[in-house]
Amino acid sequence: MSKITSSTLIKFKQEGKKFTSLTAYDASFAAAFDSEGVDVLLVGDSLGMVLQGHDDTLPVTIQDIAYHTRCVRRGIKRALLMADMPFMTYSNPQQAMENATLLMQAGANMVKIEGGHWLLETVTKLTERGIPVCGHIGLTPQSVHVFGGFKVQGRGAENAQRILDEAKALEAAGAQLIVLECIPAPLAKTITEALTIPVIGIGAGVDTDGQILVMHDVLGISSGYIPRFSKNYLKQTGEIRSAIRAYIEEVQQGIFPSDEHTFN
């Protein structure tokens, strides 16, 4: 199969073809997801919660992400590999360039950063220097203490307009992908239609160009809180590879996420 690139994802968007993404943290699961046809793998700072046992993502370090990025890179042949930049590793453009370089050298094809307008200069400088960027807006888990918890964002006309403006500004600054997390489905649809770059949703309804979930949620092995937007495909299928195939099929057919996984 041909390798997935940012150009591939743009073509998918233009053709109306839905694509899938999962988090991955090691070579074995990455290889399984890749061989079954997952298009984008993310080494997420979610590892702080699902691997390290923390209550949030804030303790994760750039060294943690780089280590797991190297592991995942060894397991994949086709998928595009994104890596999260952890909390306070991109507070200014210079710091962002130094830390993003570590992740690209570890094998990432793209880095993901959380935030809106304050990141525009950083996004521009990274892309000018050959580091592709995925923006992440809506519920940004690294700001959990500012939000007062993991809460839906973008409700109300003013908040919705702010997130739409952020998405447009990130695209104009050079971002090649956008992740929308935990926002009302109608807002996600508006943003997806307004942008030329692909939009990946998590808790953002069925109308985004792609979907992403944490692998532990898909396999029903997360401890503690299970997000409303997640679905346990292993319970549905009884076998890991079958679970991944079911996830891909339901995303491509527009079955997942359904209303029960969506905020309106």
Q: What angle do CA 111, 134, 200 make, to 5 degrees?
A: 130
Single-letter amino acid, residue 5: T
On the question of pLDDT at 259 being above 90, the answer is no
Say if residues 152 and 123 touch (Cβ distance below 8 Å): no
pLDDT tens digits, residue range 210-220? 999 999 999 99
Single-letter amino acid, residue 18: K
In the prediction, which pLDDT does 149 show?
Answer: 62
Single-letter amino acid, residue 23: T
pLDDT tens digits, residue range 142-198? 887 676 666 788 899 999 999 999 999 999 999 999 999 999 999 999 999 999 999
- Give this prediction's pTM: 0.96
Asked about 128 being catalytic, the answer comes back as: no
- Span between the terminal Cα atoms of the chain, in Å: 37
Name all domains of the chain by residue range, CATH numbers in brackets. Answer: 6-261 (3.20.20.60)
In the prediction, which pLDDT does 224 show?
Answer: 67
pLDDT tens digits, residue range 11-42? 999 999 999 999 999 999 999 999 999 999 99
Half-sphere exposure of 175 (CA within 13 A, CB side): 32
In the prediction, which pLDDT does 125 show?
Answer: 98
Say if residues 230 and 217 touch (Cβ distance below 8 Å): yes
Point out the catalytic residue in the list 114, 166, 181, 250: 181
pLDDT tens digits, residue range 100-151? 999 999 999 999 999 999 999 999 999 999 999 999 999 998 887 676 666 7
In the prediction, which pLDDT does 148 show?
Answer: 66
Dihedral angle of Cα 180, 38, 29, 204, to the nearest 10 degrees: 20
